[in-house]
Amino acid sequence: MVKAGFNKQKSLLHVNRDNHKLTEYFPIRRSIRKTKKHVLREQQTWLENVIRRETEEGLEIRHVEDKGRSIFATRDFAKGAFVVEYSGDFISIAEANEREDQYSQDESTGCYMYYFKYNDQQFCIDATKESGRMGRLINHSRTNSNLFTKTVMVDGLPRLVLFAKENIKKGEELLYDYGDRARESLQNHPWLKY
């Protein structure tokens, strides 16, 4: 009986010696999938670089009756895609109030000031000065906007970026809701209602 058990162990040893690992025949395949955190970090880095380079691709200025200069897409933009930065002077609220007073003295000067909150702090981007940047020329639409703004931190400063709210086709005018609902603004600028 001992001999039979010994033979059984010996045959198991023989079988184990002949067994090979699967990895001896096929290389170990490592996943190249990135974690969600890694993908988001790459997207953030890409966006910061686009903003630093002042990228304004796929846009053109056209004149539209009753509106003046307007921005149109020269290519398609997918929903959620970066379109353009709303660029100008990053100023304090006190300075913004002073500039608004100055601008109101001259009717030939427009006012391209964008007030926004970020981390419970109020900021202003003043894009009134002609700069050649296109984000400042995107017109308002409360009902037909195809862009939305988002604040993105770049080099320690909040920057305003416009993204596609929906798929945008080549040839479409780019519009976003300025968000101004003040009674005085609506009286002076009735187009803000639409």
pTM: 0.76
**Is pLDDT above 70 for 181?**
no
Task: For the chain, count helices (H), then strands (E).
Answer: 4, 10
Residue with tokens 């479409």: 172
SS3 content of the chain, % helix, strand, coil (to 5): 30, 30, 40
Domains of the chain, earliest start first: 57-193 (2.170.270.10)
The pLDDT of residue 192 is 56
Average pLDDT over residues 134-150: 92
Q: How far is CA 133 from the centre of its chain?
A: 17
- At residue 86, does pLDDT exceed 50? yes
| % residues pLDDT > 90 (the chain) | 51
